[in-house]
Structure 1
Amino acid sequence: MSQPAYDLQQVLHHDIPLTREMGLEVLDWQAGVLRLQLPLAANVNHKHTMFGGSLYCAAVLVGWGWLHVRLREAGIDDGHIVIQQGQIDYPLPVTTTAVAHCDAPDEASWQRFVAMYQRRGRARLTLHTTVANAGSETAAVEFTGQYVLHR
């Protein structure tokens, strides 16, 4: 596990205790991509699939985590990240360990976000995340979230 991934896992488990109970682990941070995982056993529902609330948390947290790590890399550590709005779809059940994934937004969006934060002390960024069954590339969950960074 890379140092940014390790540091993020510590932040999540300390600042959001629910992540420990869910068994959330940071898998890796590589080339601007963050991946988290959740075990089925700690998040199972009555249908023996992953609970929708746990999947929502994973989808939100992988975006929050992506933004947290990327801001640290950019030398910005004076703000607070909150999720302002989210839209989620559950096209498939998750029947194994869940892997949540967040890619970087396009560079122009990132640069606008940073410039706005530096100028006004508040900025919004839309991130797209997915959650899949471990070993699958097919998204079982698709999430679009609007994250706000404010001083």
Structure 2
Amino acid sequence: MTTIDPDSKARELQEVLHQDIPLTRDMGMQVISWQNHQLRLHLPLAQNINHKSTLFGGSLYCGAVLAGWGWLYLRLKEAGIDDGHIVIQEGQISYPLPVKRDGVAICEAPDDATWERFVKMYQRRGRARLSLNTRIVAKDSEESAVEFVGQYVLHR
């Protein structure tokens, strides 16, 4: 089994986001880590502040979507699948708390059975859907300020 350096994968994703989705540069978005199939993105308050001195809702939505997109991008790379295009098909978000300082978007892995069904469907049909959950917390907190469920589609 090949060992994958999580730091190199985080750096690779950072480059892809800033190159292919220029908005992420303007937002100051940074990939914090990719470990144990968990992706963490940094959303700085300074570049995403609103009139209430909290993180702007649109930036939070973008961070949540991109945490899921980035999670799927990295997981597919690990699985050796590199012939598909990832798109967000649908998203549902709630904002239970304001984010008054830098935010961290966290996307966790779905259960193994869900992942395996997704991969098999893609291999069989060239198209598959996967729901991913992202939450955003204020830096140095674990309390969810934003909860997001995104439906992502991978197609050839």
Report % sequence identity: 68
Take 2:129 and 2:17, find their aligned partners in 1: how far apart are those partners? 21
Q: Secondary structure at the match of 1:2?
A: helix
How many residues in Structure 1 have an aligned counterpart in Structure 2?
151
2:24 is the counterpart of 1:45:
no
Take 1:109 and 1:122, find their aligned partners in 2: how far apart are those partners? 15
Give 2:141's aligned residue.
136
Gaps of 5+ in 1: none
Give 1:95's aligned residue.
100
2:38 is the counterpart of 1:33:
yes
Take 1:3 and 1:41, find their aligned partners in 2: how far apart are those partners? 27
Q: Which amino acid aligns with 1:56?
A: Y
CA-to-partner distance for each residue in 1:36-94, whole Å, 9 max, x for gaps?
01110100000000100000000000000000000000000000000000000000000
**CA RMSD between the two structures:** 0.6
Q: Secondary structure at the match of 1:50?
A: coil
Take 1:48 and 1:58, find their aligned partners in 2: how far apart are those partners? 18
Q: Kindly report structure 1 stretches of 4+ aligned residues shifted beyond 6 Å.
A: none
CA-to-partner distance for each residue in 1:5-38, whole Å, 9 max, x for gaps?
0000000000000000000000000011000011
Take 1:98 and 1:69, find their aligned partners in 2: how far apart are those partners? 21
Take 1:83 and 1:45, find their aligned partners in 2: how far apart are those partners? 25
Give 2:22's aligned residue.
17
Q: What are the residue-to-residue correspondences of 1:67-78 with 2, within 5 Å?
A: 67-78=72-83
Q: Which amino acid aligns with 1:69?
A: L
Give 2:3's aligned residue.
none
TM-score (norm 1): 0.99
2:24 is the counterpart of 1:7:
no
Q: Which amino acid aligns with 2:16?
A: V
Take 1:15 and 1:121, find their aligned partners in 2: how far apart are those partners? 23
TM-score (norm 2): 0.96
Take 2:138 and 2:29, find their aligned partners in 1: how far apart are those partners? 14
